Structures are given as C-alpha cells and as structure tokens.
Amino acid sequence: MLTYYRNIFLFICSCLLCYACSSTKSVPEGDRLYTGAAVKWKSDKKNKKPSDFSSLSDGMNNVIRPKPNKKFLGMPIRLWLYNLGHEPRGKGLNYLLRKKWGEAPVLVSSVKTQITSDLLQHYLEDNGYFQNEWSAAIKNSGRKKASAIYTVQPNIRYHIKSVRWETDTSTKVGRDFARTNNKRRTLLKIHDPYSFDIIKQERERIQSQMRNNGYFFFTADNILVQVDSTNNGEVDLFVKIKDNTNKLATRAYYMHDITIYPDYSLTDSTQSKGPVTLYKNFRIIDPNKEFKPIVFDRTMVLLPDSLYRLRKHDATLQRLVSLGTFKFIKAQFRPFSRDSSLLNASFYLTPYPKHSLQFELRGTSKSNNFVGSEIAVSAKNRNWLHSATLLELNLSAGFEVQNGGQSIGKNSYTLKGEVAATFPRFITPFRINPPTPYVPRTRLSTSYELWSQQDLYKLNSFTLQAQYLWKQTRNVSHVFSPISITFVLPTDTTSAYDSIIHYDPSQKAALEKQFILGSNYTITFNNQSDKRVHGFYISANADVAGNLAGLFLKKNQGDTAKALLGVPIAQYIRFQLDGRYYWKLSKGITWVNRVFAGYGLPYGNSQQLPFVKQYFTGGANSLRAFRARTLGPGAYRLPDSVSRYIANESGDIKLELNSELRMHLVSVVNAALFVDAGNIWTQKYIADQPGSQFHFSNFGSQMAVGTGIGLRVDASIVVVRLDLGIPLRKPWLDPGQRWVINKINFGDSDWRKENMVLNIAIGYPF
C-alpha cells in the first residue's frame, strides 16, 4: 500500500515538473519569459550599506516594473493554467483558463530598463542619495527565460544638519506656527537621513497642529520646506509659511452658530426648514421632533463660542457615526462674514429607517462540531424613545447535527429569544462622559435559550445582564458588566443520560441547576488592518461570581451550601487571555499565531466551576485534530462507549497554542496549514478522572498536538471552512508512547476512521 501511494506521489511530482518545463509554452518566438529583477548595490569603504538597507531594498523592488508572473509556493500556477488553455471562442473552459484563472506570461519585451532606472533614481533621491550611477542589463537564464539586473553605484547619503522655522513672530499666526517647532514631536531630526516622505509627514503634522489651534483653512500646501545642500553630504532645512498663502488660512477661528439637522433628507430639502430649537447654545431644526435634544448634548464635542479645533471636529463626527442611527453625515463650515474670525457650522444628519425587520437563513457551526441551519428574525427600532436608543428583538430556531466521529443520537434543536436595549450613554447615578471620540453605551438585555439534545435531555437557560461598553481609542475597547445573572434549569432527562452518568459521574455537572450572580470585565486591543504587516489582537477577561451574594445569604439548616430560591449560588473567579499575532509574509500569505490561557478557581460555596463557565477543547475552533469535548482533562480519556453518546469533558484550566499559515489560491478559495497544541485540566483531584489534575511538573507532557490542512471559501459575506486534522501526540497514552507520528498510515481505513477529523465551520477559527 505504501508503494502505491509513493508511486502516486512520484507521478504528481513528474506532472508538476512537466508543467514547470512548459511555463514558456505561450512565449512568442524571439521573446523570453520575464522572471523578475534584482538590484545590485555597489558599496565601498566610504559608502557602506545603510542600516535601513532592507527597507530601501523593499522600496526599490516595489518601484520596479513590470512584475513577473505570480507564484504560489514558488510555482507559477496561474501561468501554468493559462498555458493549459487556448484562445477562447466563447465562455467555455478555455475562457476560464485564459481570462479568469490563468495569467498571461510577462515578456522581456515589455521591460523598459531606462524608465525603471529613472524611477529607481527618483526613489533614492527621495531617500537622500543624489547623483548616483546606474546601469541595467537583461540576463538570459535557461530556455526562453530572462531577468533584469539593475546596478547602482550610490553617492554619499545626505543627512540633516539643521532645521529652522522661519516665521514672523510679531503676528499671531507666526507665533502659533513657531510653536509647531517642538523638538519632541517634530519628525525632522538632526543627523537623520534626508527623506522626502518624512518631510511630507512633517507638513501634515504641522497642518494638524495649526488646525487644532483654530486655523480651519490652513493646509499642508501652505507650508514650504526649503532644502539647502552642502558639499559634505549634509542639508539645511528651512520651514516656513508660503508668501502667497490666502488670508483665510492665516486666521484663527472661533465657533459661532452650530446648527443641527437631525432628520435631513437628501431628496426633500423642505425638511431642513422649520422652527429652531435652542438647546445649550445649539440650534436644532427638527420639525417632526424625531430626536430629543439631549442626544446631541453627549455627541457634540465642538461647542459654540470655543476655539475651532480639528480634534474636536473629528471627535464630533466620530460620535455621530458611532451612534449607529445616521446613514449619512455631512458637515459644512462657513465664515460668519468675509472679514470675521467667527465660523458657523451646519451638521446635516440623514437617519436610517427607524424600524427594520430582518429575516435570515444561515448556516451555523459551534466549537463542539455541531453544524446545521438556523432561521433568525430580528426586529430593530434605531430611535426608541426618540433618544437614538437601539431596541432589538431577536428570535431564532435551529437544527443541528454533530459531524465527525462515531456519534449517535447527536441531533439537537435550539430556540432562542432576546430583548435588548442599547442606550448611547452611561446610565449611572452621576454623569460619566469619557473624553473619547466614541459614544459610550449601556446595554440591558434579557434572553432565554432552549437546547434539546435528542434522546438525552433539555437545557433551559435564562440570562439577565447589564453592560457598559466604551472605546478608549481606535484600538482599545472595554466591556464591563456590573451584574450578570444566569439561571440554568435542566428538564426531561432520559434513562440514556442516566446510564452515561453511571459510567462517567463527572458528566452530572452538565445538568445541574445553576445560579450565577456575578460581574465581568473585558479589555481588548486590536490593531489589525489591511495595510499592516504585523497585527495584534489581545483580549483579557476577568469574571467574578457570588462574592456579594455570599455576604448576604446564609445556609439554611441542613443545607451544605448557600442557596437562592433553592438553587446553590456559584462562587468563583476566572481569568483568561487570548492573544493573536498576524504576520503578512507577502501578498496573499499570512502567518497567524495564537495563545489562549484560562484559569478558574471555585471557592466558598462551590467545589467546581459552573458547567457553563468551564473550559473545553478540541473541535473546529480549537484543537482541530481532536473531536470536540473529547480531549482531556489532562491524561484522562473518556471511554468510547460513553463519548459516542455525549462528549462534555471540561476543566478549570486551559492552555492552547495555535499556528496557521493562510494562503490565497485563486478567486475566493484559500488554503491553510496548521499546528495546534493544548489541553484542559481540573483544579482539584477527581477520583473518577485519574490524571486530570493540573501539575506544573508534568503539564507539558500532557499537551495534545495535532496538525492538518484547511480549505476556505471566502465569499465576503460568509466564510465556509473545511479543516482536516490528524493527531501527532495523544496525552492519554502511556508516557513514552504519546507521540504517534510513526503510526501515521493514510492507507489504513481503520487508522483514518480513528484519527482523521474533518471540521466544517463558518468563519475563521481566530
């Protein structure tokens, strides 16, 4: 069998080699396939490679045109697809190969070395290298292939000798402009290399500072930076306001009238006319009284009779946007009169429709490998009580089935209902208005969920919660829930479930009545963006329950624990950290790494964490080489005779490490290679689960490890994910036998059935 698969592998490699040889199939006679370009930097003792050469090299490579054919894992797959087809006559396979999937060969005849040399020279001049010597050559490499070589003999690099602000300090604008010369904030540093990009950034910095001091019409185009070079590789920079600057740009403005049109229509201008309501110096024109004036008391940061400041302007717009009530927002600023230093502002706000009703039919996936479909209905009122408060009613019903493994009796259905109101302010006994560009919120919600697992049990969950949500900066957000009440009530347990408890008593915790009264806090940092090469996501959570209730409740006679309405209250503290690092190695290739750590400590009234607060591992969003909730805790292994009915292995401690290489293939199809490691453990010794307790001395040897490949279809509105994983390390085996790499046998059907886990999910795992 191994020989059979080896032959298949050799056959595939031979096919790839043949395709590689045919990459020049479509290259015309007399021409060559362009394979790329390189820049050679001739350095000597007087002019060594600079410390930022890597950045300079990347910049020069970005300038070079044209780009060679794209490659995936070093192979020009799209070029091969192009060569497989012929000139299309219609919309058939040839059309797909040539016009959609494939990529035409980039030819040497399209390379203009002189133009590229000029572009490279301009790039180096922008970075302090002037009067360089360039040469270019085409180098043939192999059959009908060639590359371009650009060689530069750089001159000495110019550095900044001095920076001077030239301005007339007898005028107000001159004095304010002189204050922008802040040695701590300026980007023009003495002894730094000359950089045209840094000069542009400095002009933009000065523009922002001037506009934050009232100069509404001042722009970067009003700033002149003169460069005076010397013979010894140094430059003197002179920063000043241009002589022909418009008078409006040199005048500091104060806000006068601020008029708000909260129900502005883009098609009906008559709605912008009506009686004026004066509220705290704001002018509000709202003929239909759609919004209470207090809404704008908390969103308008730019105030009448105050100096115009850009940061307050931006904060006002950001707060209006973050209300989520207005579809379009337009701000207009005009001088009160031609020679006046007063500025009038008008804010035209076009609201979303007040009421909305949304129906959805969607696919669902959970960490326990349940997949299915769900019908959801969402009704929204975006301006409840005329206060920009969002009122939501969410209802859903779904059917799920667990994929993977030998599970039986795994069908389930869910019913959910939630009512929530999100207020655009903090509801507190005293006023709190964080000084950020984002609107703070208070969310009050109540929900009910019924989860029914076929032939086993039903689980009812009631939740009441109050939350404060606010953003500190663009990247940092907070969620604080001062009170969160959860009541879990199991019903309709069957004899099949009773037999499971008989074999695994730890499963009993899953269906105990649970009353959780506590608080939790989450802080999240997220700086991901399409432009960032390195992105980070860090979320930390603290969850505390039962401390206040425990002070007031007393044990009834004969009870072993403090109870409320006959249900023992939970007392615990729980902390968890989720950290992710996103590294864009190149266009279409991203390396993602994740660390998750969770720690829970029951105390007082509780011997263990409530089941809904315990940790699980395995499944589509965790260790993908292991079926959901069947792994751990520690070295313990749930008997197969029980796990095929129900898998709910949980713990108080969790550690998980994930690494995934994501690669774009074609169109909306992406691939991934991943490695996962981790496990869960219990805080205390449990006789029914030998090997489950956490110990620093051996937790590393109890880490499960798995690897696999994934395929993702990213259709922008939804990501369908398939991940196929296999275990490399099984912690439940005897020490010394836990690594199972040498037992991998894809040709054995029994091995595949036991070890290969296919995860079907919606969205990325992290």
CATH number of the domain within which 246 lies: 3.10.20.310
Tokens matching residue 204: 């933009």
* pLDDT of 35 over the 70 cut: yes
- Among 273-277, 344-348, 651-655, 714-718, whose mean pLDDT is lowest? 714-718
Same domain, 280 and 132: no
Tokens matching residue 499: 């037999």
How many Cβ atoms are within 10 Å of 164's Cβ, its own excluded?
12
Give the model's pLDDT for residue 371.
Answer: 61
Give the model's pLDDT for residue 671.
Answer: 92
Residue 582 exposed, middle or buried by CB count within 10 Å (0-12, 13-18, 19+): buried
Same domain, 372 and 336: no
Give the model's pLDDT for residue 363.
Answer: 60
Domain tally, the chain: 4
Tokens matching residue 649: 């292995």
687-724, pLDDT tens digit by residue?
778 888 888 888 889 999 999 999 998 877 778 889 99
Task: Give dist(CA 544, CA 551) in Å, integer.
Answer: 14
Task: Give dist(CA 377, CA 406) in Å, integer.
Answer: 34
Give the model's pLDDT for residue 408.
Answer: 44
564-616, pLDDT tens digit by residue?
777 788 889 999 999 999 999 888 899 999 999 999 998 887 878 888 888 98
Residue with structure tokens 């039919």? 361
Please state the separation of Cα 265 from the chain's center in Å: 34
Domain end marker among 141, 176, 198: 141
CA dihedral in degrees (213, 215, 218, 220; nearest 10)?
0
DSSP 8-state class, residue 275: P
Mean pLDDT across the chain:
85
Please state the separation of Cα 347 from the chain's center in Å: 32
Q: Which CATH number is 463's domain given? A: 2.40.160.50
Residue with structure tokens 């602000």? 165
The partner residues of 348 in beta bridges, in order of sequence, read: 261, 330
DSSP letters spanning 654-677: EEEEEEEEEEEEETTEEEEEEEEE
| Four-residue CA torsion sign, 87, 89, 92, 96 | positive
Give the CA angle between residues 660, 662, 664 to the nearest 5°.
Answer: 170
**Is residue 45 in some structural domain?**
no
How many Cβ atoms are within 10 Å of 535's Cβ, its own excluded?
18
**Is residue 446 in some structural domain?**
yes
The stretches of 567-684 forming alpha helices (DSSP H) are: 640-643
Task: Give dist(CA 649, CA 619) in Å, integer.
Answer: 12
Same domain, 590 and 646: yes
DSSP 8-state class, residue 713: E
Taking every pair of C-alpha atoms in the chain, what is the biggest distance, in angstroms?
99
**Is residue 473 in some structural domain?**
yes
Same domain, 344 and 416: no
pTM reported for the whole predicted model: 0.80
* pLDDT of 215 over the 90 cut: yes
The stretches of 404-511 forming alpha helices (DSSP H) are: 495-503
Give the model's pLDDT for residue 596.
Answer: 97
Residue 339 exposed, middle or buried by CB count within 10 Å (0-12, 13-18, 19+): exposed
Q: Number of C-alpha atoms within 13 angstroms, CB side, residue 71?
A: 9
Is 521:481 a contact under the CB 8 Å cutoff? yes
Rounded average pLDDT over 230-244: 90
Domain end marker among 107, 141, 175: 141
Q: What are phi and psi of 79, to 5 degrees?
A: -65, -40
Of the chain, the end-to-end C-alpha distance in Å amounts to: 37
Tokens matching residue 208: 């922002």
Give the model's pLDDT for residue 409.
Answer: 44
Same domain, 587 and 691: yes
**Is residue 151 in some structural domain?**
no
Tokens matching residue 594: 């994740």
DSSP H or E stretch at residue 320 = helix 310-322
Domain holding 667, by residue range, is 355-762
Task: Give dist(CA 635, CA 402) in Å, integer.
Answer: 25
- Tell me what percent of the chain is helix, strand and coil, each rounded to the nearest 5: 20, 40, 40
551-563, pLDDT tens digit by residue?
666 655 445 667 7
Question: From residue 762, how far is each of 364, 676, 721 by CA, in Å?
Answer: 7, 19, 6
**Is residue 736 in some structural domain?**
yes
**Is residue 174 in some structural domain?**
yes
Same domain, 419 and 525: yes
* pLDDT of 69 over the 90 cut: no
Amino acid at 316: T
Question: From residue 291, how far is each of 278, 298, 344 by CA, in Å?
Answer: 14, 13, 22
Same domain, 287 and 418: no
Rounded average pLDDT over 671-675: 95
Is 247:217 a contact under the CB 8 Å cutoff? no
* pLDDT of 641 over the 80 cut: no
Same domain, 280 and 305: yes
Task: Give dist(CA 302, CA 394) in Å, integer.
Answer: 36
* pLDDT of 520 over the 70 cut: yes
**Is residue 147 in some structural domain?**
no
Task: Give dist(CA 64, CA 485) in Å, integer.
Answer: 61
Is 712:759 a contact under the CB 8 Å cutoff? no
Residue 260 exposed, middle or buried by CB count within 10 Å (0-12, 13-18, 19+): buried
Give the model's pLDDT for residue 2.
Answer: 46
- Among 323-337, 653-667, 707-721, whose mean pLDDT is lowest? 707-721
Tokens matching residue 232: 């010894």
- With a pLDDT cut of 70, the percent of the chain lying above it is 89
How many Cβ atoms are within 10 Å of 86's Cβ, its own excluded?
11
Same domain, 685 and 711: yes
Domain end marker among 210, 226, 250: 250
Is 449:415 a contact under the CB 8 Å cutoff? yes
- Name which of 605, 686, 698, 687 is nearest 651 in CA terms: 686
**Is residue 674 in some structural domain?**
yes
Tokens matching residue 157: 């690099």
Q: Which residues contact 430 (CB under 8 A, 6 or more apart)?
A: none
- Name which of 467, 481, 488 is nearest 609 in CA terms: 488
Same domain, 389 and 297: no
Tokens matching residue 228: 């005076």
SS (H, E, C) 492-550: CCCHHHHHHHHHCHHHHHHHCCEEEEEEEEEEEEECCCCCCCEEEEEEEEEEEECHHHH
Give the model's pLDDT for residue 557.
Answer: 47
Amino acid at 629: R
Same domain, 237 and 265: no
Same domain, 604 and 694: yes
Give the model's pLDDT for residue 406.
Answer: 47
* pLDDT of 200 over the 90 cut: yes
Rounded average pLDDT over 65-84: 84
Helix, strand or coil, per DSSP, at residue 212: coil
